[in-house]
Structure 1
Amino acid sequence: MSEHTRRRIAVIGGGRSDEHDVSLASAAAAVRAVRANGHEVLALTVGRDGRWHGTGREALPTADAVRHLTRCDVALPLLHGVDGEDGAVAGLLTMLGVPFVGSPVRAGALAMDKWVTKLLAEAAGITTAPAVLVRPGDDVGEPPLDLPLVVKPTTGGSSNGVTRVAAAYAYGGAVETARAAGGDVLVESFVTGREVDIALFRDRDGLLRAGATLEIGVAADGVFDRDRKYDGTAAFTLPARVSPAEHAAVDRAARVLYAALGCSGVARFDFFVTAAGIVLNEVNTTPGFTEQSQVPRMYAAVGLPYEDLVAELVDAALAGWAVAEP
């Protein structure tokens, strides 16, 4: 297809995770961009109960949702969190033979598990914070690392279930908070540094393209929590205030991880820049995607506005699918 061909594009939002509302906002923004680019939109929503709904919010039997998807040229799934970003929706679309924007099953599953991401990053020579994994049923006694700590679920996003622990008595409660938002719990040493993020996507010509680095101004406790992510009070600096050497280190580490995880589409890589070097925080293979979200801001800062970014991602998905097909 040429870039001027009118396409039928499915945009999928919602989902069963605790990021349902964030996903709806991402999907609504993408729908506007797809329409502005002159394409037909099939807007599908996965309810909190896992049921599918159509453009008019009418309930759809799963078989009907599948039939609609298979009539589309390409899908843009924006299901953040578990049962979406973790490879679930990528697996569904792959089985249906529908080209899609975003990472395949392996990359989504690996990046979604913060413990596994740490193991892979360390094996690739990328520093992460010292950490301990606490599984369901494990005894929760004294903090396993020196304070302060950050306690969070190994899966999920939007800072759900994340607690900074500065006193030993608060550790047990923090673990329970994390368990309520996920299953396994990651206990990490608190990293003192500036959070600097970078995003990458591979375009239709195979070029890996980076957005501007973005620095997040955090609260006094050093935690970028859910409220500050979405209430408009977060301070973003683009490009991040980093030296050429720090920028090069962040860019290189992100490219190594993009390849090692097997990412496709756009992915965001979050780092801490410290006096001793860069430290990986996490990887997001389906990051927030409204016009005001971090990733679109990163690309707008290098001359790729939101509607053009959506068009590039769709074209790249179709080109990549054509290469992969026999």
Structure 2
Amino acid sequence: MKKNIAIIMGGYSSEYEISIKSGNVVYQYLDKSRYNAYRIIITTKKWVYLDGDGKESPVDKSDFSVETKQGKVYFDCVFNAIHGTPGEDGILQAYFELLDMPQTSCNHYQAALTFNKRDLLSTLKPYGVHCAPSYYLNLGDSIDEKAIVEKVGLPCFVKANRAGSSYGISKVYEEKNLKAAIDNAFSEDNEVIIESFLDGTEVSIGVITYDNEVTVLPITEIVSENDFFDYEAKYQGKSQEITPARISKAQETNVSKLAASIYKILGLKGYSRSEFIFIGDIPYLLEVNTTPGLTEESILPQQAMAAGIPLPKLFGSAIDEALR
């Protein structure tokens, strides 16, 4: 009997449009012989089911069900394609856990932890994970530019602590430009992390649970045409994403082992995509994404296809693991 799958997309953040694209790709490629797929759009104003004709019907939040032409539909599993809040920061994960509804993403605590860059790096440092030197600011803190430069040096990266898709991030070369970069980061979040610039090869590595095994996907090398891997580079073709990455065997071994270790240390499930920069043969962790992009052009689907996993199988496996 076919399973009813709710594909949630949209969200409350600047990543809304990217999430809609990811969700529609999942809807397109999900095996219709195994699943009944339903698109659920979640925004700050409404939660709705979008049928094939584009008609919207409200979601009953008490049990996450929807009314359709065929009657009331309950879901066997939720496929999470929401980037940013509330789909990547633990809010929806906690909601579905309360409903005891299987979901393809990690659990609420892991989602909240990985979405918070400062807390994530602090958690992993005792395990020997290398990270760039950093400086933290909260909205309302006094800004001491000299202290920041003394701690992290120049150039440095100013980032919104809880944001994705490179929203709220700037590369700063001069102390006089720090304030504007910090204001930009605060436009996305009330917490900021400022990190030293690491000059090395940047890679992205997907780790998923596939056929009940933690699986490291082929590594992608990031070569940005811009000053760094910003929004333009990620989504507007201003970068090369080379899979497999042009790195040494030692680098490949080190980062693959580390990415798998981080996945297990954090107790993740479903998809993850982690970003690293190599200094010599040592990978330095930048961040961990637990709801990565899922369009045909996105990095994790590219890596899966390089591993011989087509999109219907990739998406189906996430549901199988959630139901397991």
- Answer yes or no: same fold by TM over 0.5: yes
Deviations 1:198-237 (A, max 9, x none): 1111234x3111211000112352x111122111232111
Q: Is the 8 A contact 2:163 2:188 kept in 1?
A: yes
Q: Is the 8 A contact 2:10 2:41 kept in 1?
A: yes
Deviations 1:134-172 (A, max 9, x none): 111111131513111100011010000100000111000
Q: What is the rounded CA distance, in whole Å, between the counterparts of 2:73 and 2:199 in structure 1?
A: 48
Q: What is the rounded CA distance, in whole Å, between the counterparts of 2:167 and 2:252 in structure 1?
A: 29
Deviations 1:48-95 (A, max 9, x none): x24111123525154377223981111101111122101111111111
Change (3 A) 1:233 1:185: same
Indicate yes or no: 2:116 matched with 1:109.
Answer: no
Q: What is the rounded CA distance, in whole Å, between the counterparts of 2:194 and 2:205 in structure 1?
A: 24
Q: Is the 8 A contact 1:73 1:98 kept in 2?
A: yes
Match of 1:213 in 2: 219
Return the structure number with greater strand share: 2
Match of 2:165 in 1: 158
* One of 83, 91, 107 as aligned partner of 1:80: 83
Unaligned 5+ residue runs, structure 2? 67-71
Indicate yes or no: 2:106 matched with 1:100.
Answer: no
Whichever residue aligns with residue 279 of structure 2, its letter is: T
Q: Is the 8 A contact 1:16 1:50 kept in 2?
A: no
Q: Is the 8 A contact 1:196 1:214 kept in 2?
A: yes
Q: What is the rounded CA distance, in whole Å, between the counterparts of 1:62 and 1:139 in structure 2?
A: 45
Q: What is the rounded CA distance, in whole Å, between the counterparts of 2:84 and 2:265 in structure 1?
A: 21
TM-score, with structure 1 as normaliser:
0.91
Match of 1:22 in 2: 18
Match of 2:273 in 1: 268
Q: How do 1:254-293 residues align onto structure 2 when only pairs under 5 Å count?
A: 254-275=259-280, 277-293=282-298
1:100 is paired with a residue whose SS is coil
Match of 1:322 in 2: none
Deviations 1:255-291 (A, max 9, x none): 1211122211010011001226211010000001112
Match of 1:200 in 2: 207
Please list every run of at least 4 consecutive aligned residues from structure 1 whose deviation after the TM superposition is greater than 2 angstroms: 35-38, 61-65, 67-70
1:240 is paired with a residue whose SS is coil
* One of 228, 241, 248 as aligned partner of 1:243: 248
Deviations 1:86-108 (A, max 9, x none): 11111111111111101001110
Whichever residue aligns with residue 138 of structure 1, its letter is: D
Residue 35 of structure 1: how far off its partner (Å): 4.6
Q: What is the rounded CA distance, in whole Å, between the counterparts of 1:37 and 1:159 in structure 2?
A: 37
Q: How many residues align?
A: 312
Indicate yes or no: 2:58 matched with 1:60.
Answer: yes
Match of 1:324 in 2: none
Q: What is the rounded CA distance, in whole Å, between the counterparts of 2:18 and 2:231 in structure 1?
A: 11
Q: What is the rounded CA distance, in whole Å, between the counterparts of 1:309 and 1:37 in structure 2?
A: 15
Whichever residue aligns with residue 203 of structure 2, its letter is: V
The percentage of counterpart residues that share the same residue type is 28
Structural RMSD (CA): 1.7
* One of 129, 134, 138 as aligned partner of 1:131: 134
Whichever residue aligns with residue 174 of structure 1, its letter is: A
Match of 1:181 in 2: 188
Q: Is the 8 A contact 1:136 1:184 kept in 2?
A: yes
**More displaced, 250-259 or 24-33?**
250-259
